[in-house]
Amino acid sequence: MRRAIELAKRGVEAGDGGPFGCVVVRDGAILGEGWNRVVASNDPTAHGEINAIRAACAAEGTFSLAGADIFTTGEPCPMCLAAIHWARIDRIVYAFTHADAAAIGFDDSAIMEQLRLPAEQRATPSLAAPPELRIAALEIARAWFARPDRVQY
Amino acid sequence: MRRAIELAKRGVEAGDGGPFGCVVVRDGAILGEGWNRVVASNDPTAHGEINAIRAACAAEGTFSLAGADIFTTGEPCPMCLAAIHWARIDRIVYAFTHADAAAIGFDDSAIMEQLRLPAEQRATPSLAAPPELRIAALEIARAWFARPDRVQY
């Protein structure tokens, strides 16, 4: 966690983005590091956790970080929580909480509240394409499932 | 959507990952495209939507895609939904639904169910670091908020 805090500090000093640093660790070794670079990289997905997961996966040559823990300076947002799930990470350790962040003016709880609503009640409209496009897209999904060499991620 | 389906088809044929293609559109013009490359790039975050958002933001030189719509072959997972929120995208259009995907064997509803639980009830343990690390991390967050040149993302 001290390393994650150092990365957050460096990122803030550089003006890279929010105050979030992150390391992915397995068996006492750092597999990957990241910090928030949303502003510096013009990438809204460049949160510390996402960057650390990407770095760890690149270093390990796999999309699975099973057996690893993620240390992050702030409790992860829903995007990062879901990414942690997709990466099969075992445990999350955070320094400050969502409530801490909200108290100093950085409140991302609206995203979680939105996700908890049914799609049709969310602020961002979610619309179904015409049926013939649904059928065409499903055909590709079925083709993928039928592939004998399909890699399940 | 036809372009998103084409990207999904190409991705599946190349063995890049799941059957998901995506385009970000504003005022009738495609700003960015993506398809699932989790397997090809060993990156669990490389969903079609994330890749399309990253491409669109890189092309536009901004972390905000306000005014844009996202067309995706499959209803977005929670990671992508939250990324769509962070990117300030206006509307989502999808071809097949979560239920369609689940019916043919690709069920990601567990992630949403997990997110809807309080952190302490989730399958992935989420642990608070010792208080002195919380305080150290919060100090950096406060420093960020105090910066006069802070860019809010």
Nearest residue of B to residue A21, measured between CA atoms: B137
Nearest to B101 among A50, A141, A153 (CB): A141
ipTM reported for the complex surpasses 0.95: yes
Beta bridge partners, B94, equal A128, B72
C-alpha angle B66-B70-B72 in degrees, rounded to nearest 5:
165
- Section B130-145 average pLDDT: 96
Question: Which tokens go with B42?
Answer: 């060993």
**Residue A120 DSSP one-character state:** G
Contact partners, residue A130, CB within 8 Å, separation at least 6: none
Provide the pLDDT confidence category of residue A51 given band limits of 50, 70 and 90.
very high
Chain B residues within 8 A of A95 when measuring between CB atoms = 128-129, 133-134, 136-138
Beta bridge partners, A30, equal A25
**What are A106-115's pLDDT values in tens digits?**
888 899 999 9
Predicted local confidence at residue A63, as pLDDT: 98
Q: What are phi and psi for residue A111, nearest 5 degrees?
A: -65, -45
In the numeric block, the tokens 């394409």 are attached to: A129
Written as one letter, the residue type at B23 is V
CA distance B152 to A141: 38
| pTM: predicted TM-score of the whole model, two decimal places | 0.97
Q: Is B116 a residue whose pLDDT tops 90? A: yes
- Contact B73/A137, CB-based, under 8 Å? yes
Contact partners, residue B85, CB within 8 Å, separation at least 6: A79, A111, A114, A124
B139 part of the active site: no
H helix intervals, B15-130: 38-41, 48-60, 78-86, 98-103, 109-116
Orientation angle between helical segments A48-60 and A2-14, nearest 10 degrees: 120
CA distances B66 to A44, A118, B26, B45, B91, Å, are 12, 22, 9, 22, 10
**What are A110-135's pLDDT values in tens digits?**
999 999 999 999 999 999 999 999 99
Predicted local confidence at residue A105, as pLDDT: 84
Lowest mean pLDDT among B16-20, B105-109, B110-114: B105-109
**What are A55-76's pLDDT values in tens digits?**
999 999 999 999 999 999 999 9
- Contact B19/A144, CB-based, under 8 Å? yes
- Compute the mean pLDDT over every residue in chain B, rounded to the nearest whole number: 96
User: Quick check: B101 and B107 in contact, CB under 8 A?
Assistant: yes
**What are B62-109's pLDDT values in tens digits?**
999 999 999 999 999 999 999 999 999 999 999 999 999 999 888 888
Q: By the CB < 8 Å criterion, does A42 face chain B?
A: yes
CA distance B151 to B153: 6
